[in-house]
Amino acid sequence: MLEDSIMRYRGWLILADLHIGYERELEEKGYNIPSQTKDMLRRIRELKKKERRLLILGDLKHNIPEFSLQEMKEVPYFVRRLKELFDRVVIIKGNHDGDIEKLVDVEVLKEFRVGRVGFLHGHARPSDELLERVKTLVIGHIHPVYKYEDSLGHPVFKSCWLMGRWRDKKVIVMPAFNPLFTGSQELTGPFAKEMEVEEIILTDLIKIV
């Protein structure tokens, strides 16, 4: 079940692309943006229902290749708070998550499977083993957005879900959980050339296509 920028599936709460530490990059560009970490924790608490397990589909942190001071402080804090909310926390390693194991004490995996659904970040091709066992793939990485014009003709970008097919698999692309990300209108990664987008759904669940 989709809701806002999260998914609920078989007792799991699933989200993607938090990019903790992104504010540091914005600060270097001249933008003074407060940390979103506590606000994202608040949103998770509000969105959580009966789920006791949390799955993060990559890019928990933002800076690469090193850790920023903000990440060294906020990532461990964030995960400690998550462990108070959930019995199990699993992080799928994204392309921004180099050495994330040094900051967290929860499971860090390349990909994950629940029944016939496979979960991965989306910057790398799924393993053959995963592809053999699933019918659906759920990924992050792309930060999809839908662009339209408001009544005055100004461009507006809204985070969205993408539904489509990649080879013989159904694919669901999750929006970024971090509200600072405007995202991309283009597919990237190994799914870009072969994925056929069939549906676009805004995070308020308004279907566009």
Cα 92 from Cα 197, distance rounded (Å) = 24
> Counting Cβ atoms within 10 Å, is residue 13 exposed (0-12), middle (13-18) or buried (19+)?
buried
pLDDT level of residue 86 (50, 70, 90 thresholds): very high
Residues 6+ apart with CB under 8 A from 12: 51, 53, 54, 55, 114
What is the CATH classification number for the domain harbouring 119? 3.60.21
Domain that holds residue 119: 2-202
Using one digit for the tens of pLDDT, what is the confidence trace for 150-196? 788 888 888 999 999 999 999 999 999 998 877 777 787 888 778 99
Which residue matches tokens 């992104």? 22
Residue 93 in domain: yes
* pLDDT for position 174: 96
The domain tally of the chain equals: 1
Residue 23 in domain: yes
* pLDDT for position 25: 75
Backbone φ/ψ region at 90: left (φ over 0), alpha (ψ -120 to 50), beta: beta
